[in-house]
Structures are given as structure tokens and as C-alpha cells.
Amino acid sequence: MTFRELINEVLIRLREETISTDWSGNINESNTVTDYQKVIGSLVNDAKRHCEGNHDWLALRDTYIVTTADGTMQYTLGNASSGAGNNFKVMDVINQETGRHLTQASSEWLNARSFPVANVSTGEPAHYGFNGSTPRTGGRPNDMNVDLYPVPTEAQSINFNIIKPQSQLKIATDTISIPSHPVVLGSYARAISERGEDGGTQSSLAAQESVQALKEAIMLDSGNTEFESDWYIK
């Protein structure tokens, strides 16, 4: 479902005028979209972010590959054109060549083993830790930097498998990645509250339906990752 369609689904429920045609560029800079329609657009993004944060959605999973180099400890998850940004969750980190899973380490732990430089260990990386970020242009968020330890001695590919929330919807044709129904109902519940109509039956019903829709969407998505929720006692 596109951004315009999401907004219109909420406007219909509010008995407000819908957006008849796609706007050009960022919605907040459009002269064809009313101020109230822009408010609904912001509420759609709020609901989207809320839904994204409640589950490890399959649609939001991505892999960023770091190619190591001899003697280089720090790398960036991304390049000038695209990257992981700075708002993501790491699922796992694995060396493509050896199949070794890397474990996360704190900055204190890494610093204690990185200095003095003359004593630093080298070889296949076994640990990683985030350390600052690299600025990007064009309104993109900074991409996170990652330190690998021991310091690599050869070129290897390290997969960072992450869950990365979708960027804020801005353009009319932007398509939402996660299920749209809980986002629509969550936006509608927020719109009722924004109007000051949050004390009656309609508000309570809208809030309950949005919660239920999110639960159902999570249940369906979780059905495709059933083994991730299994617990084992060793």
C-alpha cells in the first residue's frame, strides 16, 4: 500500500476529504496537500514506527557485508549510496569464509585489547563492537562504524544480518514494507486522539482494534520464523 493510500484510508474513517492525486516530492513541501492531510501523514509514520518496533519483521531484514583488509580494525556498514544507518537491530554476524559467528563486545573490552597497539592481536575476527558513525549526504542518517577484533590479516566477507526500520514515508508512491492494516488502524486511533475525541466509545474501540490488528499481523509473520522463538536448556 502506498503512502497516499494509507493516508486516504485514515481520512475515509474520519469522514474527511481524501487526496485525489499523487503529490510531487516530500509531502510536507507540497502545495496540493492540506495541512490536516499532512498531519495524518505524520500520524501514519508514527503508527508505522510503533508497529516496526514491536516485532522483528521479516520484511525489514537486511544484510550488510563488510570486506576486511589486512591491518584494518574499523569498517562502516554502508557506502556513499546506501547503508545500515544508525537505527537497527543486529540479528547475527557471521564470517562467510569460515562460518564463524562473531560475538558483540563492549567498547571498554575492545579498548583494553587494542592498546598498546604493539600488543594487539591479529587474525580471524571473533568479536565486533560499534564505534561512532560516518556522516552521509542527501539527508541520509549516518552509517554506524564497527570495530573487529582480532584485527583482520586478510580479505574476508563478514555478514551483518540486521533488522532495519523503513525510512519515513514522504513521497506519495512510497510503499510500506510491513503489513498495512495495523498501521492504518493505529493512525486512525491517533487521529481521534489528536482531535480531542479520545474520551468516548469510538476512541476505545479504535485503540483496541489497532492493538488486535498488530497482534494478528505479528502472529502471522512469526509463523514463518517459528524456530527463532524456541528455547533450549543445555
Q: Which residues of 48-76 are buried (b: 16+ CB within 10 A; e: fewer)?
A: bbbbbeebebeebeeebebebeeeebebb
User: What is the pTM for the complete model shown?
Assistant: 0.89
Q: Of 110, 142, 163, which residue sits at a domain end?
A: 163
The single-letter code of the amino acid at 210 is S
Domain ranges, residue 89: 60-163
| pLDDT score at 234 | 45
Query: Are 132 and 70 contained in the same domain?
Result: yes
* Strand partners of residue 92: 161
Say whether both 66 and 18 belong to one domain: no
Q: How many domains does the chain have?
A: 2
- 172-216: per-residue pLDDT in tens? 999 999 999 999 999 999 999 888 765 556 778 899 999 999 999
**pLDDT, average across residues 55-73:** 97
Check whether residue 41 and residue 65 sit in a common domain: no
Angstrom CA distances, 129 to 13, 66, 85, 159, 184, stand at 47, 13, 15, 14, 37
Mark which of 129, 163, 197 sits at the end of a domain.
163
